[in-house]
Amino acid sequence: MTPQPTRPAAGRHHVVIVGAGFGGLFAAKRLADADVDVTIIDRTNHHLFQPLLYQVATGILSEGEIAPSIRQILANQDNVRVVKAEVRGIDITEKVVTADLGGKDAAFSYDSLILAAGAGQSYFGNDHFAEFAPGMKSIDDALEIRARLTGAFERAEITTDPEERRRLMTFVVVGAGPTGVELAGQLAEMAHRTLRGEFQNINTEDARILLIDGSPQVLPPMGKKLGRKAARQLQKLGVDIILNSMVTDVNQRGVTYKDMKTEQETFVPAYSKIWSAGVAANPLGRHVAEQAGVEADRAGRVPVNPDLTVGDHRELFVIGDMMSLDRIPGMAQPALQGGEYAARAIIADVEKGSPAEREPFSYFDKGSMAIVSRFSAVVKIGNAELSGFIGWVLWLGVHLMTLVGFRNRFVAAMSWGLNVLSRNRWQLVATRQQLHARNAIRKLREYEDKDGVRSIEVRDNLKFGEGRDTRADAD
Ligand SMILES: Cc1cc2nc3c(=O)[nH]c(=O)nc-3n(C[C@H](O)[C@H](O)[C@H](O)COP(=O)(O)OP(=O)(O)OC[C@H]3O[C@@H](n4cnc5c(N)ncnc54)[C@H](O)[C@@H]3O)c2cc1C
């Protein structure tokens, strides 16, 4: 049964924001001085700067540097309440959001809703690949990947079987978009530079790093020329690039891919597999689209009106990675600009006291970039294409400006500076918990689903099965 929906006592216009990523956070900030109450709900306690996840995975930055606490960021904003909860449903007719608040149901009624819950990894219908090939969408993912990468070298050091050693020192990255390229590049630098000489029985420079993609080039959205430059740089670092090839299987032993031209299948024995090949919008998108009578696209994105609202619901904004509009890409800037636009539209309505006229959302493209190695990045801004050292300097500047919080900018700048000067990396801590937690939690959820019992409180150290009973006949 849905609990009684709550709303702030002040009786002002209530804006609920789902998700404190780029879209949600910038919407909340823009509403700072508005005559509204804001409830921002996120299932994590941090605002994650996803573009730098690969640096956490490869030991350059620590997780805190790219994921400041949402409460801390918004602490001085009096009209905002931060709620750590997982949104499970939205009733767009009743204007109620329901969420799991630490194992208890909670409901929030809203006057305006900004839905900014982002996207998850897509395995294109092969979800079973996930067990062996984590994606890179969260801090947990990045830490698991770090534990897998460092663990692979440790295991290779102690094995006496040359074939197994080769498997342990083979790393497969699936997907040659910006994330795959950045990860493969940093992984190559880690193996060939950082770890060099640290082991007695293996030469980490023997590590084989494969980057596989179904398209004919790396970084397809950045065009052929930059794609070629990035590929050349990666090859110089020792990355094997396999294009026009679809991954058809991933299991514990390795990866099978199929050459799209010859149809030939190849199995690569590999201990470490990382998936960065596809995204699917948060399922909440499809959930609201169905209610609004619009059809989500294949990736689950919601087609929005020019003012980022859905169907006839001018109070319901869907932004960022969840929206589909004019082929605007799923990137940080569209999400951030969409959040600010939605906030401005709400303020205009509240100030006018009735629906105000809205200019269509217009996305200002600030370009896209990917770092390939320490001194080399590719950058595309409009028709201008930059690469190499200049690209890298631009990349540094932009990322330092967009990281949230002075301390994080300062610490990241120091880490990058040290990374340039020294071959060491200082964030290579890896624990068994990082390595196993994701699959352990998934298995636990399977047991829970089977028994009709969910124990989300497991995180709070209750024993398995002590959680709330969610069977249909339970109250
Ligand atoms: C590894 C990686 C690298 C990237 N690199 C770049 C890059 O170099 N440049 C670039 O421009 N873009 C990059 N992106 C894309 C960019 O990060 C996204 O486009 C952007 O974060 C989208 O913002 P958003 O607000 O829509 O969603 P997000 O930033 O993903 O935020 C969604 C928020 O919703 C929360 N949430 C999700 N579901 C629920 C729920 N049910 N209940 C409560 N809260 C929920 C999540 O915890 C999260 O905080 C990268 C993405 C990844 C994964």
Of 306, 323, 352, which residue sits at a domain end? 352
Of ligand 1's listed atoms, the one at least distance from the Cα of 23 is: 25
Is residue 142 lining ligand 1, measured as CB closer than 6 Å?
A: no
Of 277, 296, 312, which residue sits at a domain end? 277
Of ligand 1's listed atoms, the one at least distance from the Cα of 25 is: 25
Which residue is associated with the tokens 């990382």?
Answer: 274
The domain in which residue 228 lies consists of 127-277
- Claim to verify: residue 154 and residue 234 sit in the same structural domain: yes
Task: Select from 109, 367, 95, 362 the least CA-distant residue to 223.
Answer: 367
Query: For each of the chain's 475 residues, which pLDDT tens digit applies?
Result: 678 999 998 889 999 999 999 999 999 999 999 999 999 999 999 999 999 999 999 999 999 999 999 999 999 999 999 999 999 999 999 999 999 998 889 999 999 999 999 999 999 999 999 999 999 999 999 999 999 999 999 999 999 999 999 999 999 999 999 999 999 999 999 999 999 999 999 999 999 999 999 999 999 888 999 999 999 999 999 999 999 999 999 999 999 999 999 999 999 999 999 999 989 999 999 999 999 999 999 999 999 999 999 999 999 999 999 999 999 999 999 999 999 999 999 999 999 999 999 999 999 998 889 989 888 899 998 888 999 999 988 988 888 888 888 888 888 888 888 888 888 888 999 998 998 888 888 888 787 777 665 544 333 333 333 333 333 333 3
- Claim to verify: residue 100 and residue 216 sit in the same structural domain: no
Query: 192: which DSSP letter?
Result: I
- Claim to verify: residue 284 and residue 272 sit in the same structural domain: no
CA gap 362, 333 in Å, rounded: 12
- Claim to verify: residue 154 and residue 246 sit in the same structural domain: yes
Residue ID of nearest Cα to ligand 1 atom 53: 137
Of ligand 1's listed atoms, the one at least distance from the Cα of 138 is: 53
Is residue 116 lining ligand 1, measured as CB closer than 6 Å?
A: yes
CATH of the domain at 158: 3.50.50.100
For the segment 126-146, what is each residue's pLDDT rounded down to a tens digit? 999 999 999 999 999 999 999
Beta-bridged to residue 40, according to DSSP, are: 17, 82
Q: State the total domains in the chain.
A: 2
CA gap 174, 54 in Å, rounded: 14
- Claim to verify: residue 261 and residue 246 sit in the same structural domain: yes
Per 3-state DSSP, what percentage of the chain is helix, strand, and coil (rounded to 5)?
A: 40, 25, 35
For the segment 295-320, what is each residue's pLDDT rounded down to a tens digit? 999 999 999 999 999 999 999 999 99
Residue at 452 is within a domain: no
For the segment 43-81, what is each residue's pLDDT rounded down to a tens digit? 999 999 999 999 999 999 999 999 999 999 999 999 999
- Claim to verify: residue 223 and residue 265 sit in the same structural domain: yes
Residue ID of nearest Cα to ligand 1 atom 44: 42
Find out whether 321 and 119 touch, Cβ atoms under 8 Å: yes
Burial class (CB in 10 A: 0-12, 13-18, 19+), 47: buried
Residue at 208 is within a domain: yes
- Claim to verify: residue 156 and residue 257 sit in the same structural domain: yes
- Claim to verify: residue 132 and residue 214 sit in the same structural domain: yes
Residue at 329 is within a domain: yes
- Claim to verify: residue 267 and residue 330 sit in the same structural domain: no
Residue at 49 is within a domain: no
CA atoms within 13 A on the CB side of 115: 35
Residue at 67 is within a domain: no
Of 242, 277, 312, which residue sits at a domain end? 277
Residue ID of nearest Cα to ligand 1 atom 29: 21
Residue at 404 is within a domain: no
- Claim to verify: residue 108 and residue 168 sit in the same structural domain: no
Residue at 469 is within a domain: no
Task: Select from 83, 98, 86 the least CA-distant residue to 37.
Answer: 83
- Claim to verify: residue 189 and residue 101 sit in the same structural domain: no
CA gap 366, 328 in Å, rounded: 12
Residue at 162 is within a domain: yes
Q: Distance of CA 416 to CAs 163, 357, 392, 395, 419, Å? A: 36, 46, 12, 12, 5
Task: Please give the model's pTM, rounded to 2 decimal places.
Answer: 0.92
- Claim to verify: residue 286 and residue 262 sit in the same structural domain: no
Residue 452: per-residue pLDDT: 64
Measure 50 CA to ligand 1 centroid, in angstroms. 6
